């Protein structure tokens, strides 16, 4: 089977997601790893790995985004002249997902600019940027990096970008490693749905490859909700399908949906038994109240004759609003942490690591500004935009 999708994982979080995708669905995805940490790269297996950064440096960047941009800039020509990467992996794909944590150094720093380089070089491939937000309890440094990442997404990559935002806060009630694994799993399963693999043949309404393409390539935020439980005749007699879908969105690992409801397209893929199909009210008014009314709707209804425990419903929504409500929470958290540092002696001691980290971040930004006055060549000059920050 020809693979339509590649996953480029940057930094530790991105690589872990790519590795999971490789392990679970190696027949659907090609994967690429990019990391500054030799140790992290050694833990994953896949088609191709790029180590960026100084050779003798074994570990990551220590959350230094700008250093990573510099490292990627130094290596970008080598990466783009690696035929296996460009010809076999990227150029042959329909969709390439570029995945990283927004909070670290390597993935957060390198992924937006890499995304821009790739989409400039490979015009026939659709690129989707996937960012993972840190928990609200994460450090000042991580929150600061996240804001920079989101700034690059919204300001530098701009409106013509399709992106997905996952959130480690959604699993903050779980044990730390378990929480991250749930998020990784969610990302991989969502991308699997976007491959269209579960759109079973049907004589009824259907979503074909071109429809999926028009949903996925809509600029703005892309969200997937997968519902596999509770879609039984008994439950649907008392509960509206809208409520089930809304709950599915709220309980997913995607970050919260913005209150400024906007959605351009959605696709709903159902696989229901006849009985459940009869209970399915397709107007979905409450859902529209929750995420907005799409300009275009696509439906895929296939009949499940295997038994209602196999019923499922997937929602793919695209062109959604920027995550301004969540950004506000990050900013509030940064203010809270800074205030605690300034006012409270007890907090000052506990949070001193953060304070130092924040100073380091400020210094790095200045350094980055100073370095951005060179006259680099293409595609290196794409980096300029990302290295000019205040």
Of the residues 4, 12, 161, 311, which one makes contact with ligand GTP according to CB under 6 A: 12
CB of 6 to Mg ion, least distance (A): 21
Rule CB under 6 A: is residue 184 a binding residue for ligand GTP? yes
In angstroms, the Cα distances linking 282 to 230, 285, 329 are 17, 9, 34
With CB cut-offs between 5 and 8 Å by kind, which of ligand GTP, Mg ion, none does residue 267 bind? none
The answer to the question of residue 320 lying near ligand GTP (CB under 6 A) is no
Closer to ligand GTP by Cβ: residue 60 or 248: 60
Question: Is 15 among the residues that bind Mg ion (CB under 5 A)?
Answer: no
Minimum gap (Å) between residue 344 Cβ and ligand GTP: 24
Near ligand GTP by CB under 6 A: residue from 180, 194, 216, 302: 180
Distance set, CA 202 to CA 93, 262, 301 (Å): 26, 30, 7
Binder to Mg ion among 37, 111, 145, 311 (CB under 5 A)?
A: 37
Site residues for ligand GTP, window 142-161 (CB under 6 A)? 142
Residues 258 and 232: beta-carbon distance below 8 Å: no
Instruction: Supply 297's token pair.
Output: 């709707």
**Which window, 12-20, 118-126, 204-212, 276-284, contacts ligand GTP (CB under 6 A)?**
12-20
What does each C-alpha distance from 383 to 7, 328, 355 come to in angstroms?
A: 22, 28, 29
If one asks whether residue 12 binds Mg ion (CB under 5 A), the answer comes out as: yes
Is the CB of 60 or the CB of 134 nearer to Mg ion?
60
Partners of 349 in the β-ladder: none
Interactions with ligand GTP, residue window 48-67 (CB under 6 A): 60-61, 63
- Residue 11 binds ligand GTP, judged by CB under 6 A: yes
Residue 274 CA: distances (Å) to CA of 115, 127, 186, 245:
44, 38, 29, 19
Closest CA to 197 of 30, 5, 22: 5
Q: Is 16 in the site for Mg ion (CB under 5 A)?
A: no
Q: Is 252 in the site for ligand GTP (CB under 6 A)?
A: no
Count of residues engaged in binding Mg ion, rule: CB under 5 A = 4
Distance CA 272, CA 351 (A): 53
Beta strands in the chain (DSSP E): 5-10, 29-35, 48-51, 95-101, 126-133, 162-167, 220-227, 265-272, 296-303, 312-320
Shortest distance, position 221 Cβ to ligand GTP, whole Å? 18
In the complex, the smallest distance separating the C-beta of residue 381 from ligand GTP, rounded to whole angstroms, is 24
Q: How far is CA 182 from CA 168, 185, 321, in A?
A: 9, 5, 25
60 binds Mg ion (CB under 5 A): yes
Q: Which of 4, 22, 161, 168 binds ligand GTP (CB under 6 A)?
A: 168
Q: How far is the CB of 35 from ligand GTP (least distance, A)?
A: 6
- DSSP-assigned letters across all residues of 126-188: EEEEEEEEPPTTS-HHHHHHHHHHHHIIIIII-TT-EEEEEEGGGGTTS-HHHHHHHHHHHHH
Provide the binding-site residues for ligand GTP, judged by CB under 6 A.
Answer: 11-13, 16, 36-37, 60-61, 63, 100-101, 103-108, 132, 134, 138, 142, 168, 180, 183-184
Provide the binding-site residues for Mg ion, judged by CB under 5 A.
Answer: 11-12, 37, 60
């Amino acid at each position: 089977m020809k693979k339509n999708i590649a996953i480029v994982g940057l930094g530790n979080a991105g690589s872990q997601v790519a590795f999971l995708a490789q392990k679970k669905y190696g027949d659907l995805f090609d994967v690429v790893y990019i990391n500054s940490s030799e140790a992290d790269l050694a833990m994953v297996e896949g088609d191709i790995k790029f180590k960026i950064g100084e050779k003798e440096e074994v570990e990551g960047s220590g959350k230094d985004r700008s250093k990573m941009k510099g490292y990627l800039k130094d290596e970008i020509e080598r990466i783009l002249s690696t035929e296996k990467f460009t010809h076999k992996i990227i150029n042959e794909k329909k969709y390439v997902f570029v995945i990283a944590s927004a909070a670290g150094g390597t993935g957060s720093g390198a992924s937006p600019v890499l995304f821009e380089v790739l989409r400039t070089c490979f015009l026939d491939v659709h690129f989707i940027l996937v960012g993972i937000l840190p928990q609200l309890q994460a450090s000042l440094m991580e929150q600061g990096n996240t804001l920079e990442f989101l700034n690059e997404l919204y300001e530098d990559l701009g409106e013509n970008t399709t992106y997905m935002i996952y959130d480690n806060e959604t699993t903050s009630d779980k044990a730390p490693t378990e929480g991250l694994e749930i998020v990784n799993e969610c990302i991989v399963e969502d991308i699997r749905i976007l491959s269209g693999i579960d759109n079973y043949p049907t004589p009824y309404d259907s979503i074909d490859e071109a429809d999926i393409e028009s949903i996925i390539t809509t600029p703005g935020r892309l969200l997937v909700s997968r519902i596999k439980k509770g879609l039984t005749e008994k439950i649907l007699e008392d509960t509206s399908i809208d409520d089930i879908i809304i709950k599915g969105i709220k309980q997913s690992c995607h970050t919260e949906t913005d209150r400024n409801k906007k959605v351009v397209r959605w696709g709903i893929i159902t696989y229901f038994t006849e009985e459940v199909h009869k209970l399915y009210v397709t107007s979905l008014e409450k859902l529209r109240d929750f995420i907005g009314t799409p300009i275009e709707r696509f439906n895929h209804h296939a009949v499940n004759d295997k038994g209602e425990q196999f019923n499922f419903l997937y929602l793919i929504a695209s062109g959604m609003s920027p995550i301004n409500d969540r950004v506000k929470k990050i900013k509030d958290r940064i203010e809270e942490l800074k205030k605690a540092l300034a006012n409270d002696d007890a907090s000052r001691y506990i949070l001193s690591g953060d304070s130092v980290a924040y100073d380091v971040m400020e210094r790095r930004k200045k350094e980055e500004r100073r370095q951005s006055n060179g006259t680099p060549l293409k595609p290196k000059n794409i980096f300029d935009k990302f290295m000019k920050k205040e």
